[in-house]
A = this chain, B = another copy of it.
């Protein structure tokens, strides 16, 4: 009984993991597009004001069970990874 319940919950978790992979890549793709637009306008890719707004949105939307600080920490890692992706794109563009 307990094991069946565990397998059922793990199946649901696997589905959520898969959706998270897709959504993180969707986000990465959008961040790349934004990087390209900014680059074409000579704008700096890193924008602390915009990051602050996104972190505030998390506070506003968070219904738990994760604490807001935990989600904000996770998102900061996502921001960092996205910025690195934009910088890779930029370096590749310079090499063309």
Give chain A's interface residues, CB within 8 Å of chain B. 2, 5-6, 9-10, 12-14, 16-34, 37-38, 40-41, 50, 54, 57-58, 61-66, 70-71, 73-75, 77-78, 81, 84-85
Contacts and interface: CB of A to CB of B under 8 A. Distances in A.
Contact of A54 (B12, B14, B24, B74): B14
**Those 7 A-B pairs whose CB atoms lie nearest each other, nearest first:** A28-B66, A16-B27, A28-B65, A13-B30, A70-B81, A9-B34, A2-B41
A interface, by DSSP: helix, strand, loop or mixed? Answer: helix
Taking the full assembly, how many copies of this chain does it contain?
Answer: 2
B38 A6 contact: yes
A25 B62 contact: yes
A85 B70 CA distance: 10
Contacts of A16: 23, 26-27, 30
